[in-house]
A and B are shown apart, each in its own frame.
Chain A
Amino acid sequence: MKIVIINYGAGNIQSIKFAFQRLGYNAILTHDVNEIKNADRVIFPGVGEASSAMKMLRQSTLDNLIPELKQPVLGICLGMQLMCNSSEEGNTKGLGIFNTDVVKFSDKVKVPQIGWNEITELKSELFKGIADGKHIYMVHSFYAPLCKETIATSDYGLKYSAALAKDNFYGVQFHPEKSSDVGERILKNFIDKA
């Protein structure tokens, strides 16, 4: 099993590598196109600002590569948001994998949302063995609204997509690498997916 974590200069990816290490896998940090193409599983992380992250993806032509990948791909946090059509953060276009537009939380709630929220209405093998209402760790100011690709829902002033899926592409708004046993189970489910 070859797992790669796309390293395009966005955020703390060491923690994701460590999470796979705890599961017994040596995930490779890389931005090499061939290495990514040949991997069995691809993790697309991202912490930071959307438009600058998109810029970094374009500079390394990863914006063309990622939507073409055929193996299971998991976007995490900003990674998930960049897989959508667009983001209000820096008014940027996204990779267009998920057919929804990322927008900012209203000021009726504290922004960023930081902490443990529940995931409900779980609709994917990604959540095998996980009970509805379990807590996962979220840190974000922008969110993907509910859409037909939503596979998990959270509530923060309104219901939004905690996770999305389409074909071989998965995206989670939360940080599985920081979500205790629940997060580790989700990463394991992603690896085990046939």
Chain B
Amino acid sequence: MLAKRIIPCLDIKDGRTVKGINFVDLRDAGDPVELAEIYSRQGADELVFLDISATEQKRKTLAELVYHVAEKVNIPFTVGGGISSVEDVDLLLHNGADKVSINSSAVKNPQLINDLVAKFGSQCIVVAIDAKEIDGEWMVHLVGGKVPTKIKLFEWAKEVEERGAGEILFTSMNHDGTKNGFANEALAKLSLELNIPIIASGGAGNVQHFVDAFIEGKADAALAASVFHYKEIEIKDLKKELKTKGIPVRI
């Protein structure tokens, strides 16, 4: 049976991890490769690296990081953040990334999804969608959720699937950072209306939130950052608990 996936997300700036990292066994708290290895040993199923730097060196620095992660880590990983062209993706996949995630660039130029899928295949193209529920309607937002658009979440998600994306990474701006749980209703609706895997993001605060995202939200995978970085939740404990709730996981 296919297992539900637990995915820690690492924010990267200029080749270094940002956000609080709280591992006593970590020699260099800013080294993404070392952190990735630790997560992998703890039972993470996949990793996401989100590059938030905005320098001219960005492309090269990110590509080098991908190479070093691929060299050391024996689980799949996705790279996202400011990727906007076939050339960007080619470089990252060539250096060892398993998947790339695109967000604003896909909204601005939806054809990019088709172009990437045609060249690299659906399996490595993740489309990330940030959305916010406003007056009962889920609306797509850009630039890390800061800029609203007139695009509706469910319509955009359907279009993303039709254009060939392999997975959707859905972040609820209403839930992100609250630690009050995932947007389970919207997740379940995405999962029912679409036939590609859905990764839940935004709102993880405790173990029960993951249980809810998988059972009520019907998510295929759940992504979180701070609960793992600050060791509020240990991946091993989380998976044990999920297993006792009858949720299939890899232990």
Contact = CB atoms under 8 A, between A and B. Distances in A.
Given A115-B221, A135-B3, A14 B94 contact: yes
Interface stretch (B71-79, B136-144, B174-182): B71-79
B123 A111 contact: no
Contacts of A175: 76
Interface residues of A, number: 37
A50 to B, nearest CB: 10
A19 B5 CA distance: 22
Nearest to A107: B195
B14 interface: no
B124 to A, nearest CB: 7
Contact of B98 (A12, A19, A141): A12
Contacts of A22: 72, 74
Interface stretch (A35-43, A66-74, A162-170, A177-185): A177-185
Interface residues of B, number: 33
Given A48-B121, A49-B121, A110-B220, A14 B95 contact: yes
Nearest to B194: A110
Interface string B66-94: 01001110111000000000000000011
A112 B74 contact: no
Interface string A1-36: 000000000011011001101100000000000000
Contacts of A180: 40, 74-75
* Residue of B3, B40, B95, B121 with highest tally of chain A CB at under 10 A: B121
Given A47-B121, A47-B124, A49-B121, A115 B96 contact: no
Contacts of A12: 93-94, 96-98, 124
A47 B123 contact: yes
Contacts of B197: 110, 112, 114-115
A184 B40 CA distance: 14
19 contacts: A15-B96, A18-B71, A22-B74, A47-B124, A48-B121, A49-B121, A107-B195, A110-B220, A111-B195, A114-B220, A115-B4, A115-B221, A116-B2, A139-B123, A140-B123, A141-B123, A156-B2, A181-B74, A183-B74
